[in-house]
Amino acid sequence: MISRTTIDNVFETARVEEVIGDFVQLKRSGSNMKGLSPFTDERSPSFMVSPVKQIWKDFSSGKGGNVVAFLMEHEHFNYPEAIKYLAKKYGIEIEETEQSDEQKEQANERESMYLVSEYASKYFQKQMHKTDEGQAIGLSYFKERGFTAETIKKFDLGYSPDEWEAFTKTALGDGYKLEYLEKTGLTIVKDEKTFDRFKGRVMFPIHSMSGRVLGFGGRILSNNKKAAKYLNSPESDIYHKSKVLYGINYAKQAIAKEDNCYLVEGYTDVIQFHQNGIENTVSSSGTALTPEQIRLINRLTKNITVLFDGDAAGTRASLRGIDLILEQGMNVKVCPFPEGEDPDSFARSNSEDELREFLEENSYDFITYKASLLMDEAKNDPVKKAGLIRDMVNSIAKIPDNIQREVYLQECSRIMDINEDVLYATLAQIENRDAKSSGHSKKQKMEVVKEEATPKSKVDPLYELERKIISLLILYGREEGEFHDILLKQNEQGEMIYESEVQKAKVFEKIFLDLQEDEIEFTNEDFKKLFLLLIEKLNSEDEFGVEMIINDIEKSQAIKLTDILMEEEQYELHDWGRHDIPVKTKDQGVSQYVTQTILSLRRYLVGEKINELLEEMKNVDADSETDRTEKIQEIMSYTSLSTILSDRLGRVM
């Protein structure tokens, strides 16, 4: 694990505007910087970066946070990958926490395998571009496929010489150990002899989502019928073909932005699509699609469009993978290419606009396509038709979402011209069979009932008031002020009068004590956790820095914190005064603003209690006079309190 010292060093050194500036064109806007959102398509900039606060906020998508949060959102790194990326950018040495000897050995071994793979990728590229053999065989092959020099460079394509030990001897001569050459599968060791696995092949490096070289795919160019056309690296500690998608590192941003992933079969399909502008494309590299690969896409989008060759074999193979995609709760479309075409050849012979138009017009919902395809196969054979209907229901049974399953059954009934009840009965049989085999109880059929639309309030006053309190703690928590509490007291004549009492306190102390006194708890879980954390930090640390808090909290809390910190950068979208939510004015002191916010929260909660009691009154037995009297007295008491709070609010304002 990366040490805390390294993480702190990264956060102290990294500049959010510099890192984001590598991905987004930023322009100065006062003390801040702005640009077009990298997460949505927009023409007017709504993406703001604060160099002072070291945070960013994308008002179009709602995302925000610190420099690591940006890399995790934009580059789809996990946390350690983001820290390592920043450490490398700023030349910071990564310290690992104390590990056992076995853990150190495993980490060193994996890193050595990564280094060997990276070296091999550069070696194959050099062989293709700098040698006569590489240019005549490898480079000419890629150019014949229609790949441009930019595309060849982007995908790090290369060539392995047609010699038994060319790569191995060079790698050993450059100091790389045979142990790691063998473990990565680049070199085959037999008895005392060594052989290059990819001898005489054009090379396709396979990268992780973060861009590290994991393994290779090699295509032979000779007519040797005994050799496999394509050869992949064997399984290793760093390369697991069932968990990798070819092109994912190049496609991740486009997939997230387009909210759709095109899934093809081969390396050249991916490359040709990218070259033609369709960058949200990945491949399972000729292997059968796996749940791990689908989950990789699921990190980026819920939508997959499966593209397959225009032949019967390609169609059947793709349909088999659809059930796996459905099991993962993904939305699936299919797009078959014309007879004799595949994604590579079709993209090569059509422009980007023509390709996009084809994909839009020929992408079908899986249920529509599969049903029509199977019905064509069954034609007038009732036995075959029955089997195909069962096959369809089997696919629908894979869908975890009950509502989606119901909708698909109804669509299947319409297309296949079969009674819905029969399909439901078949589904129940399949679920019952699956439940018995797995030992789980049978799922009950869910009935879809259309709910009446209920108008939603645009503003939740309680949420906004709780948010205001968090905002006060963040922006003014350690400020000291004089708080004029207006108290209701009895004078010598027995009259109730208002009396002002002045207290000196820090903002966080005043807020904490007032909420404790009223036994008020936050209803929003993120705000509740933030409140406790902020109070703890403000109470225990002499120097309070929000940037250190934002580095240690959960993503949902960090987004709320960023919203508050970037509030000044956003236009006022709501008429808060109309909802009794205080907004600090320029001429208003912090003490006055704190008191106003707490009183507003109290009054809101009292109002909610009155509404609750009025509802309870409706259910009180008419014969129970005592209960009715008690409820009425309680309502009158809270109404009186609400009046007092309103009066105090008026005096504060």
User: Given pLDDT bands bounded at 50, 70 and 90, which one contains residue 335?
Assistant: very high
Pairing state between β 47-50 and 261-264: unpaired
User: Could you report the per-residue pLDDT of 302-334, keeping only the tens digit for each?
Assistant: 899 999 876 655 566 567 678 889 888 889 999
Domain membership of residue 127 (yes or no) is: yes
CATH of the domain at 430: 1.20.50
Domain membership of residue 328 (yes or no) is: no
Judge if 128 and 219 occupy the same domain. yes
Choosing from 239, 269, 294, the residue where a domain stops is: 239
Cβ-contact 523, 466 below 8 angstroms: yes
Judge if 104 and 214 occupy the same domain. yes
- Residue 346 clears pLDDT 90, i.e. is over it: yes
Nearest to 352, CA basis, from 283, 275, 282? 275
CA neighbours within 13 Å on the CB side: how many for 473?
Answer: 27
Judge if 205 and 139 occupy the same domain. yes
Q: What local confidence, expressed as pLDDT, does residue 446 receive?
A: 45
Q: What local confidence, expressed as pLDDT, does residue 573 receive?
A: 36
Phi/psi for 488 (5° steps) reads: -95, 115
Its sign, for the CA torsion 197, 203, 204, 206, is positive
Nearest to 284, CA basis, from 305, 270, 300? 270
Domain membership of residue 132 (yes or no) is: yes
Average pLDDT, the chain: 82
Choosing from 41, 64, 89, the residue where a domain stops is: 89
Domain membership of residue 602 (yes or no) is: yes
Average pLDDT score over residue span 569-595:
58
- Residue 566 clears pLDDT 90, i.e. is over it: no
Domain membership of residue 352 (yes or no) is: no
Query: Looking at residue 447, what DSSP letter applies?
Result: P
3-state secondary structure of 51: coil
Domain membership of residue 154 (yes or no) is: yes
CATH of the domain at 30: 3.90.580.10
Average pLDDT score over residue span 36-54:
83
Judge if 621 and 492 occupy the same domain. yes
Residue 78 sits in which domain range?
4-89
Judge if 426 and 506 occupy the same domain. no
Q: What local confidence, expressed as pLDDT, does residue 442 receive?
A: 46
25-39, 483-497, 504-518, 569-583, range with the lowest pLDDT: 569-583
Q: What local confidence, expressed as pLDDT, does residue 561 receive?
A: 78
Alpha helices in 570-624 (DSSP H): 590-618
Alpha-carbon distance of 173 to 171, in angstroms, equals 5
One-letter identity of residue 563: D
Nearest to 41, CA basis, from 253, 239, 341, 214? 253
User: Could you report the per-residue pLDDT of 201-260, keeping only the tens digit for each?
Assistant: 999 999 988 788 999 999 999 887 788 899 999 999 999 999 899 999 999 888 888 889
Q: What local confidence, expressed as pLDDT, does residue 636 receive?
A: 79
One-letter identity of residue 191: D
Its sign, for the CA torsion 202, 208, 214, 215, is negative
Q: What local confidence, expressed as pLDDT, does residue 200 receive?
A: 96
Choosing from 239, 272, 304, the residue where a domain stops is: 239
Q: Of 76-85, 100-109, 179-188, 537-546, which one has max mean pLDDT?
A: 179-188
- Residue 372 clears pLDDT 90, i.e. is over it: no
Judge if 21 and 155 occupy the same domain. no
494: left (phi over 0), alpha (psi -120 to 50) or beta: left
User: Could you report the per-residue pLDDT of 486-534, keeping only the tens digit for each?
Assistant: 565 666 766 656 566 777 888 888 888 778 777 788 888 888 888 888 8
Domain membership of residue 269 (yes or no) is: no
3-state secondary structure of 202: strand
Q: What local confidence, expressed as pLDDT, does residue 317 receive?
A: 59
Residue 570 CB coordination number (10 Å):
12
Phi/psi for 253 (5° steps) reads: -65, -45
User: Could you report the per-residue pLDDT of 447-487, keeping only the tens digit for each?
Assistant: 444 444 445 545 678 888 888 888 888 888 888 878 766 56
Judge if 562 and 623 occupy the same domain. yes
User: Given pLDDT bands bounded at 50, 70 and 90, which one contains residue 633?
Assistant: confident
Longest pairwise C-alpha distance within the chain: 112
Cβ-contact 396, 327 below 8 angstroms: no
Judge if 81 and 142 occupy the same domain. no
Residue 370 CB coordination number (10 Å):
23
The predicted model scores a pTM of: 0.64
**Residue 26 CA to its chain's centroid (Å):** 23
- Give the count of domains, the chain: 4
Domain membership of residue 264 (yes or no) is: no
Q: How would you list the strands of the sheet with 32-35, edge to edge?
A: 27-29, 32-35, 47-50, 55-58, 64-65
Judge if 64 and 108 occupy the same domain. no
Judge if 491 and 410 occupy the same domain. no
Q: What local confidence, expressed as pLDDT, does residue 354 receive?
A: 96
- Burial of residue 98 (CB within 10 Å: 0-12, 13-18, 19+) is exposed
Judge if 433 and 559 occupy the same domain. no
- Burial of residue 494 (CB within 10 Å: 0-12, 13-18, 19+) is exposed
Judge if 599 and 631 occupy the same domain. yes
- Burial of residue 286 (CB within 10 Å: 0-12, 13-18, 19+) is middle
CATH of the domain at 212: 3.90.980.10
Cβ-contact 541, 424 below 8 angstroms: no
Its sign, for the CA torsion 520, 521, 523, 526, is positive
